[in-house]
Structure 1
């Protein structure tokens, strides 16, 4: 599904933030990306989402070379990838339902064809009763679940999550982890960037450990 081979990344003329990174992500797999703050976790996710291109090396996503993929193909490739940002990025003027449905609206899908799917997904993440409220009245954990639902509504082949439990208490963190595990069991590959060792200890999966831009893999 995804292959990194000796990938390097630098911003402008600065030093490399990722150095000779090599690994692959198989369909239906589950992995954590971990390491100290500033190790390059978010940069790695941005490469996976095609919001950055490698400075050197080979990055293939769904068989396409990220360095040469045409601009008109980037959006269609991104639609196969769901991403949960650390800051949620919910639109304040839209209800929970509308925020979750937004990726489908952007694709031009009629509401009548997705209304049931959005409602069922919100029930699944525990937000069925908050469907028509605005983000201002949601708690941090509820906003996180709404962001996860939005990332899932297009049924992505791979889900990227940047510190998805960083703003919630331990019981909610466990609940969110169970959502990711269930999603993975349904066939979606999951990549979670986190520094929460306690979270990783709750579910054994491959760890991609970044340290000063270098990657080590613990299966």
Structure 2
């Protein structure tokens, strides 16, 4: 599904901020990506999402070399990936229901085919009473949950989550972890970038990818 082969990244003529990354993520797998603040977790996820290109090495995603893809192919592959960003990226002119349903509208599904799915997912993340609210009136935790629901609604083959529980209390964080685990059991590969040790301890069978000093260490 995803492989990094001796990938390095530098900005300009400076030294590499990520060096010799070599690992793979298989279908139906679950891993935490961790490391100290500033280690490059978000940068690594951007490489996977193809919003950054490596300065050396090769990244293969769904069997394709990401550096040789044309614009349409990049769009097609991104539709197979669910992403939870740290900055939420909710659209202010849409209400909560519309934000979560947006990925399904983009791929051409009729509302009658997905309305029940969206409402059920919003209920599960505790936002069923906020479906008509705009992002501007939501709390940070509510925006985080909305972003998670939007990423999950397409039932992605690969889920990338960047600090998805950072604005949540421990009880809701555990609940959302269970949702990620269930998604994984249904066939999605999951990568959660986090420095929350308590969260990782709740799913000890997950693989850990640890970034430190620009290099990645894998613990099965």
TM-score above 0.5, yes or no: yes
Q: Following the alignment from structure 1 to structure 2, what is the Cα–Cα distance between the partners of residues 85 and 78?
A: 14
Q: Following the alignment from structure 2 to structure 1, what is the Cα–Cα distance between the partners of residues 80 and 217?
A: 27
Number of paired residues? 219
> Could you say which residue in structure 1 is the equivalent of 2:68?
68
> Could you say which residue in structure 2 is the equivalent of 1:187?
187
**Is 1:125–1:179's contact at 8 Å kept on the other side of the alignment?**
no
The reply on whether 1:209 has 2:201 as its aligned counterpart is no
Q: Following the alignment from structure 1 to structure 2, what is the Cα–Cα distance between the partners of residues 79 and 42?
A: 19
Deviation at 1:173, TM superposition (A): 1.7
Q: Following the alignment from structure 1 to structure 2, what is the Cα–Cα distance between the partners of residues 202 and 16?
A: 34
> Could you say which residue in structure 2 is the equivalent of 1:23?
23
**Is 1:141–1:172's contact at 8 Å kept on the other side of the alignment?**
no
Q: Following the alignment from structure 1 to structure 2, what is the Cα–Cα distance between the partners of residues 2 and 186?
A: 18
**Is 1:33–1:192's contact at 8 Å kept on the other side of the alignment?**
yes
> Could you say which residue in structure 1 is the equivalent of 2:160?
160
Runs (5+) with no aligned partner, structure 1: none
C-alpha distance after superposition, 1:54-84 (max 9, x if no partner):
1111110000001111121000000000000
Q: Following the alignment from structure 1 to structure 2, what is the Cα–Cα distance between the partners of residues 94 and 192?
A: 27
> Could you say which residue in structure 2 is the equivalent of 1:55?
55
Q: Following the alignment from structure 2 to structure 1, what is the Cα–Cα distance between the partners of residues 165 and 149?
A: 15
C-alpha distance after superposition, 1:145-174 (max 9, x if no partner):
110111112211010000111122222222
* Structure 1 counterpart SS, 2:68: coil
Q: Following the alignment from structure 1 to structure 2, what is the Cα–Cα distance between the partners of residues 113 and 172?
A: 29
> Could you say which residue in structure 2 is the equivalent of 1:92?
92
**Is 1:94–1:134's contact at 8 Å kept on the other side of the alignment?**
yes
Counterparts of residues 135-150 of structure 1 (less than 5 Å): 135-150=135-150
Q: After the TM superposition, which of the residue ranges 103-112 and 191-200 deviates more from structure 2?
A: 103-112
Deviation at 1:132, TM superposition (A): 1.5
> Could you say which residue in structure 1 is the equivalent of 2:2?
2
Deviation at 1:26, TM superposition (A): 0.7
**Is 1:29–1:190's contact at 8 Å kept on the other side of the alignment?**
yes
Deviation at 1:3, TM superposition (A): 0.7
Structure 1 runs (4+) greater than 6 angstroms displaced = none
> Could you say which residue in structure 1 is the equivalent of 2:200?
200
Q: Following the alignment from structure 1 to structure 2, what is the Cα–Cα distance between the partners of residues 93 and 195?
A: 32
Q: Following the alignment from structure 1 to structure 2, what is the Cα–Cα distance between the partners of residues 120 and 171?
A: 20
The reply on whether 1:34 has 2:31 as its aligned counterpart is no
Runs (5+) with no aligned partner, structure 2: none
